[in-house]
Amino acid sequence: MPEKIIIDTDPGIDDAMAIFFAMSSPELELLGLTTTFGNVSVERATENALHLVEIAGISIPVAIGEAVPFVQAPLPFPDFVHGADGFGNLNLPQPKGQPIELGAAEFIIKTVLQNPHEITLIAIGPLGNLARALELEPRIAKLVKRVVIMGGTVLESGNVSPVAEANIYSDPHAADAVFRADWTVHMVGLDVTHKVTLMNDLQRRIRDHNSIFGQFLFDAGRFYADFYQSSRGTEGCYMHDASAIAYAINPNLFDVVNGPVRVATEGFAKGQTILKRTDYSYPENHWDIVTDACVCMGVDESGVLALYEKAMVGS
């Protein structure tokens, strides 16, 4: 029976890859998209989510969520990575659909309460919507099935500072609230996503064999691939958000370390996800009051890519 999921997202080229991956995977049943700021404004993220639903030709709710971080001032949007429109400057026309009346946090709460222990929340943007849902209805922490996030890093260098990953850095206070909640966070961060590269030849195969969204992903992906070529010297692009979908489908493709995680919210370490990896006792108990997270530290790259290709191209 497919796993029921909600994807919390800030589309974003790699978000589009992840969302279409989820839509194409029989192991998952996508119940809705909730949007947040991050790669683009929340208004643009919502338009982009509606575009993805229309391109796929399916009918699922899109709920608009948090527009700014919980505490810190908003950061500039990374248009040099995703383009000003989030889709590599394709400048699509306005979507035909509209977001639902319920906000993102309210949609998450309602869906979880109606489906106790059945919903997996997959967050591939900043974590404000999850933090807001916890604030409004703390009971959901005990009623979700799983919480999977694309974000953070433990040993790998950060992509917005030496120690911080972009989704966490964008709203560190919300991220710390999510890690401190009484649920298990499954963290798919840069320690593994920097080890999974979506090469250009696979992107071309998806373009040539997927008549629904292959051309869109290829066209948008050129901007993303050019960024990685110029900034990292990498052919293709890292599979950040899609790796969280792969984890939701088959966590056995990942090596996981269990332990409590806290997020630094201020100063030069802002956005750092700090995993307690020992059983040592420390003078301060910041990690002792936090439910252990499942933190991905290793990955079967070929297995993740094969799973992605099977969903997006077919066997």
CATH fold for the domain made of 3-312: Inosine-uridine Nucleoside N-ribohydrolase; Chain A (3.90.245)
What is the rounded distance in angstroms from the CA atom of residue 34 to the CA atom of residue 127?
Answer: 11
Catalytic (active-site) positions: 10, 240
Q: What is the pLDDT of residue 80?
A: 86
The string over 16-27, giving b where at least 16 C-beta atoms fall within 10 Å of a residue's C-beta and e elsewhere, is bbbbbbbbbbee
In this prediction, residue 208 has a pLDDT band, given cuts at 50, 70 and 90, of very high
Specify the 3-state DSSP secondary structure of 27: coil
DSSP 132-150: HHHHH-GGGGGT-SEEEEE
CB atoms within 10 A of CB 80: 12
Model pTM? 0.97
Question: How many angstroms separate the CA atoms of 234 and 231, rounded?
Answer: 8
Cα angle for residues 133, 240, 109 (degrees, 5° grid): 15
Give the tens place of pLDDT for each residue, 62-102.
Answer: 999 999 999 999 999 999 889 999 999 998 999 999 999 99
**pLDDT at residue 145 is higher than 60:** yes
Question: What does the alpha-carbon distance between residue 242 and residue 279 come to, in Å, rounded to a whole number?
Answer: 32
Domain extents in the chain = 3-312
- Per-residue pLDDT, 286: 87
Question: 3-state DSSP call for residue 259?
Answer: strand
